[in-house]
Amino acid sequence: MTTVVELEVPADRLGLAQTFDRVPTFEFQIGGLIGDVAPLVRVTGPDRRTIEDTLESDSSVVVVASVASECSESEHEQWLFRLDFGERLKLFQQIVSANEGAILAARGRDGTWSVQLLYHDRKSVSTCHELFGQYDFGVEVTRINDPTDLEQERTPLTKTQYETIAAAHELGYFDVPRRITLEELAAELDVSHQALSERLRRCQSALVSAELASRLTPIEIDP
């Protein structure tokens, strides 16, 4: 049965870690990765010059071309670059394609890649996961779906993020005044204070980004 797997990978295992380190607000989106073709990557950051200079100095990528830019109605400027990624991402792609899989989309923020993969069967999923571990990609699977589930999804959160923010809401973390502290919530969920704080920030960032993205004007590539 066809399966969609969503996972997170640290940037230092796939690429762009140096860019994330130098530009903390850097984010990117890739519509898909096919073969050896350098993909179009939509990025956001403080300004075009900073992003371009930082990408040029990042040893994990080669800037093939700067394609287009646009300032959206929300004043969040975005840029398109064609980037040729290094050997780590290419190895990741080879593992997926060798097991009859496909990379549907990828995005990144806060030093982490979020990747959506499509497989024809669960055996391929298991094989890929073993190989990801063998080659030290540091993969964390966040969601496994039937493709029909994706059409019904209305939240940008991973399963873990959704469960966390739902528990926080139920226990009164977002109430004014709060009915539970961050430390108490962390103990309730059996995670560290730091891990919970970061997870909640990612939840909030994902929800805000999804709301803003729904209002952005698509980029048109100049001929």
pTM metric for this prediction: 0.64
Cα–Cα distance measured from residue 189 to residue 173, given in angstroms and rounded to the nearest whole number: 13
pLDDT digits (tens, 9 = 90+) for 107-116: 999 999 999 9
Q: Where are the domains of the chain?
A: 3-145, 159-213
Show the low-confidence residues of the chain (pLDDT under 50): 72-75, 150-152, 215-223
Q: Which residues contact 75 (CB under 8 A, 6 or more apart)?
A: none
pLDDT digits (tens, 9 = 90+) for 173-202: 877 788 899 999 999 998 898 889 888 888
